[in-house]
Structure 1
């Protein structure tokens, strides 16, 4: 049965949600009866952000804000905390790299006397803050302490991080959410690959509407569940229009072209680069094809794991990026001869090291080796120092939570596996505060697995768009230009 704040989904409540959705999508200013007198420190929320708060109010503080990256989900989450000063403590769970960002935003926007406590590693100890900020990596260890603290508001930032219900962090998130009356999830990419990734997020928000007992039924309906020799496969997608409609009572999503027309659109282009190790690449590609053919001919019990498959594919990707590296560095050098700054994303340590070796005098980097404090220093330096023209980021470490609007151009030396990660990286520049058109440049090794991956990512993006944006396509493709539809 459906469950809403009053225990049942009345027709009046249904109508209220529909009205709020329509208002939010139009980005009209909403007249609300909650008090935001002590919020903003002189800064004004955008109308669509106020509409997001109205949606949170209409859902009783149990919802998923899935606004596209750069539209201020953090501010909307903080505004709900500000609108309910008697609902304390509030707990914010986020990636480790974003803890300082949340602390900074809370200090900037909240005008209350709330104390802010940023939890660090080590042995759990008594909590004292009105607003507690903790990262996913240590959440499991702190769950008993957090539950005893009786939080009233719980925010999961980048909630796609808990999409895998079998992971320790997801289990910890579910356990903590069970004792909290108001749960708000924030992510611009609620689905990275397939509909099944929504399930754990939905059950956290509303365990009555999405109980464990409904797992199989829901997956059959929306994940094209199929039984094979190894069990059930939930990696598909089905009834996407119906799913998109059902999400409207629990999820609100606005895209930049809907609510922030003053923010320039992204201008995408693919730059195909010939590799200088063609023989090496062709040999590796042939070896991979032969190996895959051998695996196909074996009995299932004799085949190697999917991890081995990925490792061999990853090896081919490394050879491709190695072959395009020299030309890619030349492209970046030519770009930097102009006056504009550039953000470059890559995956492998060797590539990031090569970039820093070539451009270290005018570059900063963020990867897994950079501490949280040093990351903010790197961002600030890139944003304010005219001599620092290049930002080098690891796709995972630097793809979320950072504002890099000093640049209006982003280049990818390597592509991520998912469209969600791709958009997260792109939106480090394409966000509030950006005054110029944003150019996105994909440096693809010609006639290699790079091009295959680009097509795969684009196909995934089409499926995801049907779910979250309620349309067949996001309106663009990796190879530049608008789709006809």
Structure 2
């Protein structure tokens, strides 16, 4: 009789048992469909691989060589599990943080541990779940129905099905345990510490002096921006960046992500600035690829470095976003999550918690221009997003810092020390007047917006029709040439003649789509988005001037402000001098009047609105001079703060072309007005003509390339 071979030492313990189970699962997955019992085996094997890895790392009795050997064997099992999940991606759901572990799986897990020589811990009795109400059931079902997983995300999961567990994150959370302050209520004193008068108390963390911060060629970083990036380079990873609008929070956040290597990076933003964030990624981190999530995410690129999603559709995508492996998360206009009971806040907190669970020291940044000392309770959700607190107590480094003060809430000095501890966690607050030496006295900041509704599609269709008409005119002119008159490539002189003819016809026709009607329709389509941004600015910085060319755009903006309960004044061309003066006085003297809606032609000259330092240009002018006159309503003698003009531009339309042309001619206009140039100051006709020429030559160049 053949003697049974004694097992080798490397065949003993839990790891060989897990390897055998994994091979069984592999064979079963090759013969679909995968039975529930096989799915249970897969889930239990994956859970035990993670737990065994943690146990091996924490076992001080193991020599370094033995520990490395055990970890290598576990990596082999994990690699095989990853290959299995790539074959059947439905198994990935069993690895989610909120995946249900059935009673059968718990029993099977205990039997596997015993087979590996480990006695499983006693399971605590689980209380019977409370019967959900019908309303709760409906909300849960509705939320589950909404959630989607784009095909591109599934492809990425198949390419990289396992996210390596990072136990540093768990260790960091467990490191700071309350000692002296155990039993004290700390959150309420923390919030009250910001409400108490604290003359001279810093509202901004101590930031290092920057050395060399690499920026893309052609871009300049202001000193106050570079300090945040320098802090990130030194290892700081959580920021409540509350600089006033106009101080470049977007650039700071993206370059901080670059310094922290926090990619892939998730950016959650209001819808109105979604396109602008993608644009800024291209400017400040040009080697990183951005993708914008629209609707159900059919066109999202899950392999991109930066994923940009707006609050309104976050509920639909929160599931896969929480499991995507992000190493950083930025929440723009973070005061949007101040109401913790709102769905948008719950989605943000759910995703950030999953990121902190999976990634050790992720970069987390909350961006808002709202002053820190007003309604400090509104920042409860933001602090929780950053991982500074939970529902009951301070966490991690903040708790350690409070312990290190040696004080309790009963001590007089606790509040100032607590405030300093929170500020040092990463609060950054600078106003324009604080960094006036860093920034230009006047700047124009473009805000691209996406017209993705029916009006936007109609505008793009009209622009395509106009372009086709120009191309047909050009081709007809080429065919009518005299024999022997040949020009290689695009005949730019002929293109200008064709554009001039189209412009003449557009000016004389009362009906029909042309460059003028198209630009007006773009202004109407942008009105709501421009008003939305002006409302955000007013919330963050106080008074805002809103400029528009057409009455219907002004009407739509005023309706938006009225719907939001924002008080505004109006300056129009059909007002009597008395009404006009009353409205100006209301805006300049009444602190409750936050916005003045101005006609670009009626209010472009002769007004003093320097009580504001921010204005929104909802529609583009045809000349730089007209735009400058509007800006000069607030940028004038007596203005104590730098002025920012926010120019709303419809991306991927002729609007962007017109903006570029105005900018290209602004230098020529300045030189001519200063007497340094003999060239004529550009007129509105110049820009209109050049816009048509650009449409035509771009289309002809595209045909040549094709």
Structure 1 length as normaliser, TM-score?
0.48
Larger radius of gyration: 2
Structure with a larger share of its residues in helix = 2
Higher relative contact order (CA 8 A, sep 6+): 1
